[in-house]
Chains A and B, each alone.
Chain A
Amino acid sequence: MSIPELQAHLEESRTGAGSPVLDQPVLTVEGLNVVYEVERPVHAVQDASFTLRRGEILGLAGESGSGKTTLAYGLNQLHRPPARITSGSVTFHDRDGDDVDVLALEGESLRTFRWSKIAMVFQGAMNSLNPVLNIRTQLGDVFTTHRPQSDGPERLRRSQELLELVGVDPSRISAFPHELSGGMRQRVMIAMALALDPQLMIMDEPTTALDVVVQREILQEILRLRQELGFAVVFITHDLPMLLEISDRIAVMREGRIVEMDTAENLYFEPRDPYTRTLLGSFPSLTGEAGDFVRAGFDVEEGR
Chain B
Amino acid sequence: MTRTPSRRRAALQRILTPSLVIGAGLIIAIVLFGLIAPFFVADPLAVNNAGMHGPSAQNLLGTTQTGQDVLAQLAWATRGSLLVGVIVAFLALFLSAFFGILGGYLGGWLDEVFSLFTNVVLILPGLPLMIVIGSYVQQRGLLLIAFILAITSWAASARVLRSQTLSIRTRDYVQASKIAGEKAHRIIGVEILPNLLPVMSSGFVFALITAILGEAGLSFIGLGVVGTQTWGSMLFYAQNGQALTLGAWWWFVPPGLMIALLGCGLSLVNFSIDGIINPRLRTAPKQLKQAKKARQASPATKRERDDEPEQAEQEEVSA
What is A's interface to B at a CB cutoff of 8 Å? 37, 39, 81-82, 84
Specify which chain A residues have a CB less than 8 angstroms from the CB of B293 in the assembled complex: 37
15 intermolecular pairs with C-beta atoms under 8 Å apart:
A37-B290, A37-B293, A37-B294, A39-B10, A81-B287, A81-B288, A81-B290, A81-B291, A81-B294, A82-B287, A82-B290, A82-B291, A82-B294, A84-B290, A84-B294
- Measured CB to CB, the nearest residue on chain B to A86 is B294
List residues of B (276-294) whose CB comes within 8 Å of A's CBs: 287-288, 290-291, 293-294
Query: Main secondary structure on chain B at its contact with chain A?
Result: helix
Q: Determine the chain A residues whose CB is within 8 A of the CB of B288 once the complex forms.
A: 81
CA distance A84 to B295 in the complex (A): 9
Top 3 A-B pairs, shortest CB-CB distance: A81-B291, A84-B294, A82-B290
Q: Considering only CB atoms, which chain B residue lies closest to A82 in the complex? A: B290
Residues of B close to A39: CB separation below 8 A: 10
Give the tally of cross-chain contacts (CB within 8 A): 15
The minimal Cβ–Cβ distance linking A70 to chain B, given in whole angstroms, is 15
A39 to B10, CA, bound (A): 10
Closest A residue to B286 by CB, please name it. A82
Task: Kindly report which residue of chain A lies nearest to residue B291, judged by CB atoms.
Answer: A81
Interface SS majority for chain A: loop
Number of interface residues of B (CB under 8 A): 7
Q: How far is the CB of B253 from chain A (nearest CB, A)?
A: 43
A-chain residues with CB within 8 Å of residue B290 when the two chains form the complex: 37, 81-82, 84
Task: For A84, list chain B residues within 8 Å (CB).
Answer: 290, 294
A75 CA to B291 CA, complexed, in Å:
18
**What 13 additional pairs, Cβ within 8 angstroms, besides A81-B287, A84-B290?**
A37-B290, A37-B293, A37-B294, A39-B10, A81-B288, A81-B290, A81-B291, A81-B294, A82-B287, A82-B290, A82-B291, A82-B294, A84-B294
**Roughly how many angstroms separate A205 CA and B106 CA in the complex, as a whole number?**
39
Query: In the complex, A240→B68 CA distance in Å?
Result: 83
Please report the C-alpha to C-alpha distance between residue A58 and residue B10 in the assembled complex, in whole angstroms.
41
- Give the shortest distance, in Å, between A106 (CB) and chain B (any CB): 10
Could you say which residues of chain B place their CB within 8 Å of the CB of A82?
287, 290-291, 294
A84 to B287, CA, bound (A): 11
| Binary CB contact string for chain B from 275 to 319 against chain A (1 if under 8 A, 0 otherwise) | 000000000000110110110000000000000000000000000
| Chain B min CB distance to A74 (Å) | 13
- Most interface-central of A37, A39, A81 (chain B CB within 10 A): A81
Cβ proximity bits B1-16 to A, threshold 8 Å, 1 near / 0 not: 0000000001000000
- In the complex, what distance in Å separates the CA atom of A272 from the CA atom of B149? 73
Which residue from chain B places its CB closest to the CB of A84 in the assembled complex?
B294
Residues of chain A within 8 A of B287, CB atoms compared: 81-82
Alpha-carbon separation in the docked complex, A296 to B209 (Å): 64
Whole-angstrom distance between the Cβ of A38 and the nearest chain B Cβ:
8
A38 closest partner in B (C-beta):
B290
Kindly state the separation between the CA atoms of A260 and B294 in the bound complex, as whole angstroms.
Answer: 31
Of all chain B residues, the one with the shortest Cβ separation from A39 is B10
Residue of A nearest to B13 (CB): A39
Chain B residues within an 8 Å CB radius of A37: 290, 293-294
Contacts of B10 in A (CB 8 A): 39
A84 to B294 Cα, complex, angstroms: 7
Assembled-state Cα–Cα distance A182/B291 (Å): 35
- Rounded to whole angstroms, the CA-CA distance of A168 and B191 in the bound complex is 47
**Shortest distance between the CB of B7 and any CB in chain A (Å):** 11
B291 to chain A, nearest CB (A): 3
What's the least CB distance linking A217 to chain B, in Å? 32
Closest Cβ of chain B to A105, distance in Å, is: 14
A37 to B283, CA, bound (A): 12
Q: Closest CB-CB distance, A241 to chain B, in whole Å?
A: 29
A106 to B113, CA, bound (A): 57
CA distance A81 to B292 in the complex (A): 9
- A82–B287 CA distance with the chains assembled, in angstroms: 6
| 0/1 string, B21-55, CB within 8 A of A gives 1 | 00000000000000000000000000000000000
Residue of B nearest to A36 (CB): B290
A39 to B293 CA separation, bound complex (whole angstroms): 14
Please measure, in the bound complex, the distance between the C-alpha atom of A82 and the C-alpha atom of B293, giving whole angstroms: 10
CB B20 to nearest CB in A, in angstroms, measures: 18
- Chain B residues with CB below 8 A from A81, complex form: 287-288, 290-291, 294
**Complex CA distance for A82 and B294, rounded to whole angstroms:** 8
Q: How far is the CB of A32 from chain B (nearest CB, A)?
A: 16
Chain A residues contacting B294 (CB-CB under 8 Å) are: 37, 81-82, 84
Q: Would you give the shortest CB distance from B254 to chain A, in whole angstroms?
A: 43
The distance in angstroms between the C-alpha atoms of A84 and B288, with both chains bound, is 13
Interface positions of B from 253 to 291, Cβ below 8 Å from A = 287-288, 290-291
A84 to B289, CA, bound (A): 13
Q: How far is the CB of A80 from chain B (nearest CB, A)?
A: 8
Find the A residue at minimum CB distance from B287: A81
**Binary CB contact string for chain B from 215 to 240 against chain A (1 if under 8 A, 0 otherwise):** 00000000000000000000000000
Closest to B293 in A: A37
Distance, CA A301 to CA B145, complexed state (A): 65
